[in-house]
Amino acid sequence: MGKTTTVSAKVPEELKEKAKDLGINISSLTREALRKKVAKEERKRLKKKAEKAGDILEGIPSENIVKRIRETRETS
């Protein structure tokens, strides 16, 4: 997992006690929820970048793109 840091959050005492009574590992739950949220936000950011790249590529004639790809393959 690598280097770790401490993250704290204030929650109602009653909620914390209910979680404890139910055997919920708050640390594990928090780590997993944060991991999922970060992954979701990264996907959203990547989607926006892909859409922006698509908009840019729409302005370039497909013949030019094909030509550049072929040139790259020939020099590799």
Q: What is the pLDDT of residue 21?
A: 98
Q: What is the pLDDT of residue 9?
A: 95
pTM of the model: 0.71
Query: How distant is the alpha carbon of residue 76 from its chain centre?
Result: 32
Q: Which of 26, 23, 25, 21 is nearest to 10 (CA)?
A: 26
Amino acid code (one letter) for 48: K
Across 5-9, 12-16, 43-47, 71-75, least confident range: 71-75
Cβ–Cβ under 8 Å, residues 33 and 25:
no
Tokens 């020099």 -> residue? 75
In whole angstroms, how far apart are CA 35 and each of 2, 15, 40, 41? 14, 22, 9, 10
Q: What is the pLDDT of residue 40?
A: 99
